[in-house]
A and B are shown apart, each in its own frame.
Chain A
Amino acid sequence: MGQVTLKVWRGNSESGQFQEYTAEAGEGMVVLDAVHQVQATQAPDLACRWNCKAGKCGSCSAEINGKPRLMCMTRLDDLPPGEVITVEPMRTFPLMKDLVTDVGWNYEVKKQIAPFAPRKADHRDGTWKMHQDDADRVQEFRKCIECYLCQDVCHVLRDHHKHDQFVGPRFLVHLAQVEMNPLDTGDRIADTKNKHGIGYCNITKCCTNVCPEGITITDNAIIPLKERVVDEHYDPVMMLLRLVLPKKKSGQRSAVSGQETHG
């Protein structure tokens, strides 16, 4: 493939600039390989976070040619040939150094979400029974590797900085994962509306487009949660029905027959 030119952001929270470097591109190389080559040959102090190089740890998130992507999953031969490759840190989080941002805000957000609260175990050995179909629905959300690329691209955080009012797509996925779990007895819908700010999402699907795990964030997590919020807070008929009919949360249900899941 020959040489590639990388324009890498160098700096900290105070100041910074792009620096151009070149790297020898080989067959199957990814952007992270090129960044490592730059580190090894031209800029030993270049800071970048990585761990698995297999798209599984979610550490190497950055913006490549303006798009939030994992550096380890972006092949050089998939980028426009002969063009300079821009590598920038994520823009939604405070910059620490070069390509490394402080994503600690996400950990604080997660602590504010009511945790999974399973019903009493169905069996004396502490296990539950749940149907595979019901498990499949929330399984998609468990694929999340917490790369926070969706948080990075979401304009509510990126452009409007609503970090104190909106948890972002990653945690709406997490909310859907616990809220739709058939074993869960918690109710987070009022929080989803009031505390976690789901109303800020205007369903523009940027999060879905960047998710490296292919989670259908908007259609399968956010919109179903929005609909549950409508049930409880906006739809007068549903609100009336809920007054008459007691809410049936899975905790009160008997276990259904089906494939056994060990808890």
Chain B
Amino acid sequence: MAAVSLPLARKFGETARRDRWWLTPLLVVAGFGSFIVYATWAALQGQHYWVNGTNYLSPFYSPELWGNSPHAWFGKSPSWWPAWLPYSPAIFILWAPAGFRMTCYYYRGAYYKAFWADPPACSVGEPRKGYIGESNWPLRIQNIHRYFLYVAVLFIFLLAWDALQAFRFADGFGIGVGTLVLCVNVVLLAGYTFGCHSLRHLVGGRKDCLSESPGCKAMHTGCSALNRKHGLWAWMSLFSVMFADVYVRLCSMGIWKDIRLI
């Protein structure tokens, strides 16, 4: 009968788990981290976000309020913009999807684990003793999520409009690979946005007697169906939006050539 001592308080990373518990947090750091790096870089470029001869517009730059592309709503870059500061139309709008994802319940759970080790994984020892979670500032700010949701829903309609525009080419109606990329992207983003926990609450979850409001009940059922795989929608849409930007960027730079299917 061999005797082994039980660690009374577990230190950082200490666990009796035998599986590869570190793999998921590692993938989250790699996936989310590379997205943040790429998105920041792409947003600051201020060029190659549309493709001449097509109506493709990168989702990172839509809606384009002021800018140099034909998609700009209010014309060229604003005159009040300081000359010494490089201009990019993306900086006016990217706060919205960034805030939406940063305050998303799914991502919160994932990045608290992966980036903050709180906990590193379930039943694995933590690095810090103190803890306030979301019970006080600064993380109480996460309760703002539904306000980002309102903007995100608006963006879905704008991106759907962009996807429709992508069927229009200089010679009329058509479908290119880029059209498909933008369409798939908006479907995945919609699946993510319409499965949001806050939306699920607002459209019906806040009621105890859902059966009294058939409209709310139908919306709540739909939202719940998407919500069941919210994490999956979150990752698929994150990669699709990044890929859509890469696609538009490379086509615009002439490195990739968009193939016309119809």
In the bound complex, residues from chain B placing their C-beta under 8 Å from that of A21 are 1
A162 within 8 A of B: yes
A134 within 8 A of B: yes
Residue ID in chain A nearest B131 by CB atoms? A160
Residue ID in chain A nearest B143 by CB atoms? A234
Q: Is the CB of A17 within 8 A of B134?
A: no
Distance of A183 Cα from B52 Cα, bound (Å):
61
Which residues of chain A from 221 to 245 have any CB-CB distance to chain B below 8 Å in the complex?
223-224, 226-231, 234-235
Place the interface of chain A in its size category.
35 or more
Place the interface of chain B in its size category.
35 or more
In the bound complex, residues from chain B placing their C-beta under 8 Å from that of A258 are 211
Given A253-B212, A256-B212 in contact, is the A67-B17 Cβ separation under 8 Å? yes
B13 within 8 A of A: no
Kindly provide the distance from the CB of B123 to the nearest chain A CB, expressed in whole angstroms.
Answer: 5
In the bound complex, residues from chain B placing their C-beta under 8 Å from that of A116 are none
Q: Most chain-A CB neighbours within 10 Å: which of B15, B18, B126, B129?
A: B18
Kindly provide the distance from the CB of B114 to the nearest chain A CB, expressed in whole angstroms.
Answer: 10
Distance of A189 Cα from B129 Cα, bound (Å):
28
Distance of A137 Cα from B209 Cα, bound (Å):
10
Q: Is the CB of A65 within 8 A of B16?
A: yes
A50 within 8 A of B: no
Kindly provide the distance from the CB of A121 to the nearest chain B CB, expressed in whole angstroms.
Answer: 17
Distance of A153 Cα from B210 Cα, bound (Å):
33
Q: Is the CB of B119 within 8 A of A200?
A: no
B227 within 8 A of A: yes
Distance of A209 Cα from B124 Cα, bound (Å):
14
Q: Is the CB of A131 within 8 A of B136?
A: no
Q: Is the CB of A65 within 8 A of B17?
A: yes
Residue ID in chain B nearest A160 by CB atoms? B131
Kindly provide the distance from the CB of A117 to the nearest chain B CB, expressed in whole angstroms.
Answer: 13
Which residues of chain A from 7 to 38 have any CB-CB distance to chain B below 8 Å in the complex?
7, 9, 11, 16-21
B171 within 8 A of A: no
Q: Can you give 10 A-B contacts (C-beta < 8 A)?
A: A17-B5, A134-B211, A159-B131, A182-B208, A182-B209, A184-B208, A219-B227, A224-B200, A227-B198, A253-B209
Q: Which 4 A-B pairs have the closest CB atoms?
A: A199-B135, A66-B16, A66-B17, A206-B122
